[in-house]
Chains A and B, each alone.
Chain A
Amino acid sequence: MNAITFENISKYYPSTEVQASDNVSFSIRKGEIHAICGENGAGKSTLMNILFGLERMDSGRILINEEEVTLRNASDALAHGIGMVHQHFKLVPSFTVAESILLGTEEKPFISKKSEVEAVRELSEKYSLPIDPSALIDTLPVGMLQRVEILKMLIRNVEILILDEPTAVLTPNEVGPFLDTLRNLKERGKTIIFISHKLQEVLDASDRITVMRKGKFIGTKESKETNIYELADMMVGRKVLLSVDKKPSVPGETILSVENINVTSSSGLKILDNVSFSVRRGEIYGIAGVSGNGQEALIKAIAGEVQVRSGVIRISGKEVQNLSVEQKRKAGMAYVPEDRVHVGLNVEASLLDNSLLGYEDEKCFKKGMFLDEKKLRERAEKMISDYQIYGSSVDGLVSKLSGGNMQKVVLAREFEHVPDLLIVEQPVRGLDVGSIEFVHKAIIEERDKGTAVLLVSVELDEILSLSDRVGVMYSGSLAGELSGDEINETNIALLMVGKKGGVE
């Protein structure tokens, strides 16, 4: 029996002139884990938003349990047993976990804190998803926020759970337990739809996989009968190289040097403990490690968002540890932050504005006192075509772009620059296979142009395939440095768990 059937679903966005959904028909079986894959902007989120009642389709029919339904808003969808966890979480920062989970389900007008906490505790035990019901949303890490979102749907007794790129925000060691959660929910009879760009995990976790491209349905495969290469080809419509070719690096002089830096949290905890390393012109230095071992603080310290307690940071020989982000950019640093949507973009502004963000003062963009509109426009258009930013024009709002295309805007802007030092955090988060290939090539090209690249990634594969040298972080300090043939999975893995002897 089919839990959901899409019949000829079409949706056109006049504002961006995108046919986000083009006569899509396929179905999802009851009790299966069904993955949806496709390039950035393929229309995956749009289709799911239609199913959850957040967007209206122009034409087509949706059947739930073989019966046609009308879904005008989220309440309609919830009433039909459909729940959704969005690509960007929808939570109220000042609420507690219990309040967030129960929001909208309260039966009685008056709230009883105690019974709410109790209800959430029971729910979390029932599905073995432990969480502290009285923790504040503001203070929780992403993995927990996602758990809150899932519990929020489960308490509404949904039978069908949609997850839009749930693993994009998780660290690799959170992914395993998360996929177990999905299997566990499946065992309890729930139907799961999840979107992901990570083909390996899709193959591992799902029963069937549907591929979309440019708003169209391409095909549905049994997971057991397909493989990464076939899926990648279906998604992109051409052969994709899943590994990158690169020449050996020809390192030049030292660009970034970090000497004995220490960072402590405001509560006095040591976050970085005497970290030293350097990155030379023309090499990619990868920082690996289980997330939460100080990588964030290290990058923030170098980028200028966090004050170092002691130590020296030099860019091209110049001491920069006390300079602001802006001054460091002037010194030749470009920075692609991890949280690109909030830190790297102004989503309420146009693509053109965002393509310049932070570089407005640069001489080459100016004509006298004013910005050189024509030049900037051409530059933005070039970025759109080079980086295949799909779904908007130069003047379109960034908020209308699909998740992956938003990422590309930041990457395009920072890469455009041929900086001396390029810092990239999790560069391919949320990108489709085609774009990953592209971004990886772009990073290597930057290197070959003579940029010193500092790459931070929790994806081991990415570190392995790009880095010329690797530093592994463990509990606030550099557990070891690898180069050349030493760079392999075993060595990195050993250092990641703090085994110093790994290299020998």
Chain B
Amino acid sequence: MNIFDIITINVLQSAIRLATPIILAALGAALCNKAGVLNLGIDGFITMSAFVAIVSTYLIRNFTAIGMMHPVLATFLGVLITALFGGLLGLIYAFLKDRFNVDLVVLSIATNMLALEITVYIMRAVFHQSGTWSDSSIVQLPSIELPLISSIPVLGDLLSGYNIIVYLSWIFAVLLIVLMKKTKWGRYITAVGENRDAAVSVGISVTKVRYFALILSGVLSGLAGAFLSVGHLTLFTRDMSAGRGWLGNAAALFGFNNPGGAFAAGLFFGFADALALRLQNVTKIPSYIIQVMPYVLTIVILSIVSYKALRDRRKRKAA
């Protein structure tokens, strides 16, 4: 079997889809790490957001006039609400950190446990379902063909035909790269994260930077959650994020907390996922081996990357 029989354009497309929530989480995590506010609650944010997305879409679709007339619009509004909901979670984090100096790691552990239980609880209490919930009235987020680009052979198939959240993840990646590399605010964020006192002593507001990073990571997690429940599928399952938030945290570290690096790492995780799925379908390799493959690959690459970083640092020290 030839390698191109395994890695088809379909596999690459599914890689991009699978990567999207991880990329969104990774961008948020990278931003928070840069700003020195470790956000390990992203996984929980995503699960809660996935739930909020499908429920708000359902409510708009069935109980408002606009929703009844324009089913697709209901889904878009659901996504918007979820993004705001995610932002609100980030805002709460920032407030607790800023006002009460709450330990974010402890808060995140609580968030992740709460996210899992509260979504299941509401699903049971309100919708009388325990594992998954869905409603046939909900319309999936539509795929959008990009004008011009979609007509390019091969590349058009690769870059076009996704829903809006996929494109948004790309746009956010570019915006964050520009923000961190080219603007003064990016510099402020780095300063706050690396040496808070240095930032304070020149009049940079630590508070603003933290609010910004945590709120934006919340919005991005919101989009990731919405992508899972109304973009990729139209259903909610228990523990919907299934560790994608954590993968996002890992991808951020992987990419040295640079948005570009985090994006690439997120994409890599998505690719590893897609490849694993594909190999299960087309080869006879036992599935348990294939399923650990993305993780093994992660460890291998992470080792290489950190070894190289260590060597660079040594070199710089010696100079």
Complex-state Cα separation, A90 to B315, whole angstroms: 24
Contact mask for chain B residues 163-190; partner A; CB cutoff 8 A; 1 contact, 0 none: 0000000000000000000111101101
Q: Which of A54, A99, A111, A266 contacts B201 (CB 8 A)?
A: A54
Q: Is the CB of B202 within 8 A of A94?
A: no
Q: Is the CB of A106 within 8 A of B197?
A: no
Interface status of B125 (Cβ within 8 A of chain A):
no
Residue of B nearest to A88 (CB): B197
Q: Is the CB of A136 within 8 A of B204?
A: no
Interface status of A274 (Cβ within 8 A of chain B):
no
Q: Is the CB of B202 within 8 A of A139?
A: no
Q: Is the CB of B183 within 8 A of A139?
A: no
Interface status of A23 (Cβ within 8 A of chain B):
no
Q: Which of A84, A111, A139, A267 contacts B184 (CB 8 A)?
A: A111
Interface centre among B182, B195, B202 (most CB of A within 10 A): B202
Q: Is the CB of A136 within 8 A of B194?
A: no
Distance of A167 from chain B, by nearest CB (Å): 20
Interface status of A429 (Cβ within 8 A of chain B):
no
Q: Is the CB of A265 within 8 A of B185?
A: no
Q: Which of A74, A92, A152, A266 contacts B191 (CB 8 A)?
A: A92
Contact mask for chain B residues 252-279; partner A; CB cutoff 8 A; 1 contact, 0 none: 0000000000000000000000000000
Q: Is the CB of A74 within 8 A of B202?
A: yes
Q: B residues within 8 A CB of A78?
A: 202-203
Q: Which of B182, B198, B201, B316 contacts A84 (CB 8 A)?
A: B201
Q: Which of A103, A109, A265, A266 contacts B202 (CB 8 A)?
A: A103
Q: Could you tell me the dominant secondary structure of chain A's interface residues?
A: loop
Q: Which of B194, B199, B314 contacts A93 (CB 8 A)?
A: B194
Interface status of A317 (Cβ within 8 A of chain B):
no
Interface status of B319 (Cβ within 8 A of chain A):
yes
Q: Is the CB of A103 within 8 A of B198?
A: yes
Q: Is the CB of A152 within 8 A of B202?
A: yes
Complex-state Cα separation, A86 to B201, whole angstroms: 9
Q: Is the CB of B314 within 8 A of A104?
A: no
Residue of A nearest to B178 (CB): A110
Contact mask for chain B residues 194-220; partner A; CB cutoff 8 A; 1 contact, 0 none: 110111111110000000000000000
Q: B residues within 8 A CB of A267?
A: 318-319
Interface status of A95 (Cβ within 8 A of chain B):
yes
Q: A residues within 8 A CB of B185?
A: 109
Complex-state Cα separation, A90 to B194, whole angstroms: 11
Q: A92-B194, A111-B182 are in contact. Are A266 and B203 (CB under 8 A)?
A: no
Interface status of A91 (Cβ within 8 A of chain B):
yes
Interface status of A75 (Cβ within 8 A of chain B):
yes
Interface status of A254 (Cβ within 8 A of chain B):
no
Distance of A111 from chain B, by nearest CB (Å): 6
Residue of B nearest to A73 (CB): B203
Residue of B nearest to A265 (CB): B318
Q: A residues within 8 A CB of B182?
A: 110-111
| A residues 101-131 touching B (CB-CB < 8 Å) | 103-106, 108-111
Distance of B182 from chain A, by nearest CB (Å): 6
Q: B residues within 8 A CB of A108?
A: 184
Q: Is the CB of A90 within 8 A of B190?
A: no
Distance of B192 from chain A, by nearest CB (Å): 9
Q: A103-B187, A136-B316, A266-B318 are in contact. Are A74 and B195 (CB under 8 A)?
A: no
Complex-state Cα separation, A152 to B201, whole angstroms: 11
Q: Is the CB of A106 within 8 A of B187?
A: yes
Complex-state Cα separation, A133 to B24, whole angstroms: 36
Complex-state Cα separation, A145 to B197, whole angstroms: 15
Distance of A272 from chain B, by nearest CB (Å): 15
Distance of A437 from chain B, by nearest CB (Å): 33
Q: Is the CB of A95 within 8 A of B201?
A: no
Complex-state Cα separation, A92 to B188, whole angstroms: 10
Q: Is the CB of A266 within 8 A of B316?
A: no
Q: A73-B203, A111-B183 are in contact. Are A95 and B316 (CB under 8 A)?
A: no
Distance of A475 from chain B, by nearest CB (Å): 19
Complex-state Cα separation, A74 to B182, whole angstroms: 25
Q: Is the CB of B184 within 8 A of A106?
A: yes
Residue of B nearest to A91 (CB): B198
Q: A residues within 8 A CB of B183?
A: 109-111
Q: Is the CB of B318 within 8 A of A103?
A: no
Complex-state Cα separation, A138 to B198, whole angstroms: 14
Distance of B179 from chain A, by nearest CB (Å): 10
Distance of B276 from chain A, by nearest CB (Å): 36
Complex-state Cα separation, A99 to B182, whole angstroms: 12
Q: B residues within 8 A CB of A99?
A: 187
Interface centre among B183, B191, B201, B319 (most CB of A within 10 A): B201
Complex-state Cα separation, A105 to B201, whole angstroms: 12
Distance of A207 from chain B, by nearest CB (Å): 27
Q: Which of B184, B203, B315, B319 contacts A74 (CB 8 A)?
A: B203
Complex-state Cα separation, A95 to B184, whole angstroms: 13
Q: B residues within 8 A CB of A110?
A: 182-184
Q: Is the CB of A75 within 8 A of B203?
A: yes
Q: Is the CB of A109 within 8 A of B184?
A: yes
Q: A residues within 8 A CB of B199?
A: 92, 103-104
Q: Is the CB of A104 within 8 A of B316?
A: no
Distance of B212 from chain A, by nearest CB (Å): 14
Q: List 23 A-B contacts (CB under 8 A).
A: A73-B203, A74-B202, A74-B203, A75-B203, A92-B191, A92-B195, A94-B190, A95-B187, A95-B190, A99-B187, A103-B202, A104-B199, A106-B184, A106-B187, A108-B184, A109-B184, A111-B182, A136-B316, A138-B316, A139-B316, A265-B318, A266-B314, A266-B317
With A90-B201, A136-B316 given, name 9 new contacts (CB 8 A): A74-B200, A78-B203, A91-B198, A93-B194, A103-B198, A106-B184, A108-B184, A111-B187, A139-B316
Those 5 A-B pairs whose CB atoms lie nearest each other, nearest first: A75-B203, A104-B202, A106-B184, A266-B318, A90-B198
